Amino acid sequence: MWTMPDYPAFDFDQVDFITSDTHFSHARIIELAGRPFTSVEEMDDELIRRWNETVAPDDIVLHLGDLALGPIAESLPLTAQLHGHRFLVPGNHDRVSPATQSKRAIERFTPLYEDAGWTMLPEVVSGTRAGSRLLASHYPYSGDTQGQDRHPIHRPVDEGLPLLHGHTHDRENGPVEHQFHIGVDAFGFAPIPMTLVNAWLEDLRREEEEIAAIVRERTAAGPSTPLSEVAERLGIVLDEE
């Protein structure tokens, strides 16, 4: 019988801020993602400034990949200026990514990330936040910046668990159903507080409880009872779409 992979455990309750897809020193990302910077130097300076205005030195930050590109020996040391105790889940553009790098390359580049203050994590981590089960990965269950989803075998398996992710560079939304895009392009080029994740998880819990209540009530009332009537009895407003 097929079962969902047993992803490595991570303590999400310790995290204060989360982000992804900073792309330090990546000149082309300004054009590709429509970022409002005139040069890579301006982008790097703003990413550092906005990070350090948001994150305190003792805060814990989870970064979901695509940290830095360009000449990596120059771009990675820039990130040492960032406040906080920093964890990195590798993305496809990171030099420690199993999706794009050889084992030898990962062994070679890992010390550079560690020297810049990063604690390395696996591609997918699993845990709880305020009692809710949660996954985090650079990749969403589905979705990409291109027409086809890349690196499918490195993505988490969608079994309905809430997922924090980056990769898409979506500028218009964060949470969509049980996926939450936390990349800098959607949040003013700065990490976001985990209190936003708390609120999203609470909304998901509330929706699950309402659905379960409707199912129980309709079972008791009989299948011919309209869902709208059952929801009205329970004081639940159904989405009309």
The pLDDT value given to residue 193: 97
Amino acid in the structure at residue 135: L
Do 83 and 43 lie in a common domain? yes
The pLDDT value given to residue 221: 55
Do 167 and 207 lie in a common domain? no
Q: CA 19 to CA 37: how far, in whole Å?
A: 19
Residue pair 121/10 in contact by the 8 Å Cβ criterion: yes
Do 113 and 40 lie in a common domain? yes
pLDDT exceeds 50 at position 2? no
Residue 1 covered by a domain: no
Amino acid in the structure at residue 89: V
Q: CA 118 to CA 88: how far, in whole Å?
A: 6
The pLDDT value given to residue 149: 85
Do 215 and 164 lie in a common domain? no
Do 127 and 21 lie in a common domain? yes
Q: What is the mean pLDDT of residues 35-44?
A: 97
pTM for the whole structure:
0.86
H/E element holding 228?
helix 227-234
Residue 4 covered by a domain: no
55-67 pLDDT, tens digit per residue, is: 999 999 999 999 9
Q: What is the mean pLDDT of residues 195-211?
A: 84
When pLDDT is cut at 50, 70 and 90, the band that residue 211 belongs to is: low
Residue pair 175/182 in contact by the 8 Å Cβ criterion: no
pLDDT exceeds 50 at position 120? yes
Q: CA 27 to CA 139: how far, in whole Å?
A: 22
Residue 241 covered by a domain: no
Q: CA 72 to CA 95: how far, in whole Å?
A: 8
Please provide the DSSP assignment of 122-163 as one string: -SEEEEEETTEEEEEESS-SS--SSSS---GGGSPP-SS--E
